[in-house]
Amino acid sequence: MESRTAQLNKAGELTADAAVTEMEEYTRLLLQKEKLQKECVQLDMEFDELFGPLILEEFQAQIELVRQKIELSLYIKAMNQGQDPDPEEIEKAVAQRSANWQKQLEEMAEYQESLKCRSIVLPEEMRQISRLYRKMVKMIHPDLHPELEHDPRIRELWDRLQTAYRLNALDEMEEIAVLIHQVLADSDTAPVQITDLTEKIDKLRQELHTITTTDPWLYSTWIYDTVKIEKRRREYQDSIQSWNEARTRLAVKLETLLLEWKGSACPMN
């Protein structure tokens, strides 16, 4: 194989053959990154299918505890001011202060429900999806074709293609592919040579390392192990129990406070 030194001309620049080799490597790494990102999306969804209901239950328990703390503080504030606490007003205030958390909880519940509708993709269909996506990436990926960067039609189609790819929507991808061919056929944009390939390749390798050493990619090291799955489930269940026990203690504290208030009819110090 020709050495790296031999691939440089007298001006210290890469020869055409070396540039092609680097371009091929750059393309390969881009495709690998896209593939890993898609697999990470799938791993994320598998994780959420396994533990989503428990995560939702845990978050709900956390929100309820926060609501109880707000409620208790409002009762104490009213009592210290020598006022009779108004349960309806306090309930409104609690709802207002916890509205953002409640909205987040509802969004999590909707997402969890949507996972139940996730379709199963057959191996042959998955291969078709991968082949088509690789082909489209080589045609319009922004990092491979900077000359198309400012074409709004291509940007829209690229975004749609990525979404369809991550959702395994083969029919949608095939329609997008037709549109991409049409747009490129009508375009008179000249290709732009990509510069700084060595730096770009190094950057991609670093990105790939980051992906493969962090979640959700690391889920793949245990998410198919039934023993480890059960261990993680128990951890969530223990956490939920702990939050609920804290809620019970706080409820008793509020109940005791109200009984003392009713029995004393004097402001707290």
pLDDT at 82: 85
pLDDT at 265: 57
String of DSSP letters for the chain: ---TGGGB-TTSPBPHHHHHHHHHHHHHHHHHHHHHHHHHHHHHHHHHHHHHHHHHHHHHHHHHHHHHHHHHHHHHHHHHTT----HHHHHHHHHHHTHHHHHHHHHHHHHHHHHTTPPPPPHHHHHHHHHHHHHHHHHH-TTT-GGGTT-HHHHHHHHHHHHHHHTT-HHHHHHHHHHHHHHHHH--PPP-PPP-HHHHHHHHHHHHHHHHTSTTGGGGGTTT-HHHHHHHHHHHHHHHHHHHHHHHHHHHHHHHHHHHHHHH-S---
pLDDT(188) > 80: no
pLDDT class of 11 with cuts at 50, 70, 90:
very low
Residues 166, 129 within the same domain? yes
Name residues whose C-beta falls within 8 Å of residue 190's C-beta, 6 or more positions apart in sequence.
Answer: 147
In the predicted model, what is the mean pLDDT of the chain? Answer: 88
> Is 254 part of a structural domain of the chain?
yes
pLDDT(5) > 80: no
Residues 135, 254 within the same domain? no
State the Cα–Cα distance between residues 101 and 161, nearest whole angstrom: 33
State the Cα–Cα distance between residues 180 and 140, nearest whole angstrom: 8
Full residue range of the structural domain in which residue 128 is found:
122-193
Q: Please count the structural domains in the chain.
A: 2
State the Cα–Cα distance between residues 144 and 192, nearest whole angstrom: 9
Residues 110, 36 within the same domain? yes
pLDDT at 186: 84
Residues 72, 144 within the same domain? no
Residues 102, 231 within the same domain? yes
Residues 133, 262 within the same domain? no
Instruction: Give per-residue pLDDT as tens, 30-51.
Output: 999 999 999 999 999 999 999 9
Residues 188, 135 within the same domain? yes
Residues 114, 130 within the same domain? no
Residues 187, 245 within the same domain? no
> Is 247 part of a structural domain of the chain?
yes
> Is 17 part of a structural domain of the chain?
no
> Is 198 part of a structural domain of the chain?
no
pLDDT(10) > 60: no
> Is 243 part of a structural domain of the chain?
yes
